[in-house]
Amino acid sequence: MKSHYIFSGLQNALAQNTITARNVSVDTGDNTTLTCTDRSGKSENNLDESGRVQWIREGREHLNIDSRGHLKLFNVSRNDAGFYYCSLNGDDLRDKIYVQVRSELTFNIL
């Protein structure tokens, strides 16, 4: 049940957020890592054992989070584009990141 509490705590924070989004651009097929920072720009790298960074996108919790709370995105596609939100221990919203996925343009010369 605690997981549900954490998830709904972040959902409430999302509804009231005033955090400006950071932008991250990544090429199709590449990997990227998103780092949760607080409003001062401080990274959540130094989590103690009770600290838990949670990442949400489109109402779903992401589980591909490393031990430092970084979200790993592998083989990025257009489906990965959008807003990602993180919180620490399901409390306040810490960060909002917009992931822009760039794709190669190919031209056919006639």
At 27, give phi and psi (nearest 5°).
-80, 145
> Under CATH, to which class is 2-102 assigned?
mainly beta
Q: Domain-by-domain residue ranges, the chain?
A: 2-102
Nearest-angstrom CA–CA distance, 49 and 55 = 18
- Tell me the mean pLDDT in the region 4-30: 67
pLDDT digits (tens, 9 = 90+) for 67-110: 888 899 999 999 999 999 988 776 677 788 999 999 876 666 77
Other Cβ atoms less than 10 A from the Cβ of 25: the count is 11
In order of 25, 78, 103, the CA distances from 106 in angstroms are 19, 16, 9
